[in-house]
Amino acid sequence: MKPSYPHPLIAREGWFYLALAGAVALAVQGTAGGAWAWPFWLATLFVLQFFRDPPRTVPAGEGLILAPADGRVVSVLPCEDPYRRSPAVKVSVFMNVFNVHSNRSPANATVREVVYHPGKFLNADLDKASEANERNALVLETPEGRQFTCVQVAGLIARRILCYVRPGDRLEAGQRYGFIRFGSRVDLYLPPDVHLRVAIGDTVKATTTVLAEWPRT
């Protein structure tokens, strides 16, 4: 199923950086020539690929929990959800600078709480980044009443977490809700009875990869 996609193929968060990089490259090209300008054109291409934001197809099926971000699974472990204060399994997806950085809802859900924490900017590949780094958490509730938490975590280079939803907003599975600039991670705190479909080291794509499934009742 392919949902309506109200966002351009190049994320609006990147328009300023793309225009700036392109303007600098053009200026150097015009004043110093191509030999000096090529590194700036390369930087422009990097910005272009970083802020790409392709539409994604939502997998068909019930009870699916989808990847909230592109990247590599760096953590799957039992723990306590620090936002709901309940047992959980944490699945962490690390995004490097070559991944798509828009964040999407893992399921049809209502936003129950938005919790922002200022913090450090450690390497997001490290597990301690979940507690030490700047982060923004969404406590979500599915139409069936199941709650889980989705956390945007800033990284070593990422210095800006963007979140566009508020408590009471309803999200569809795969709906874009935020963006993190330049390298980061997303943590999912899921109830421990979910059926996991990924393991550490797996490469996932936002929306199209199924991370887990709710237990059938």
Give catalytic residues, as residue numbers. Answer: 184
Count CB-CB contacts under 10 A for residue 204.
Answer: 22
Collapsed DSSP state (helix, strand, coil) of residue 38: helix
> In sequence order, what DSSP letters do the residues of 45-61 get, joined into one string?
HHHHHHTB----PPPP-
Task: Please tell me the number of Cα atoms within 13 Å of 178 on its side-chain side.
Answer: 26
Q: Are 29 and 86 in contact (CB under 8 A)?
A: no
Structure tokens at 122: 């450690």
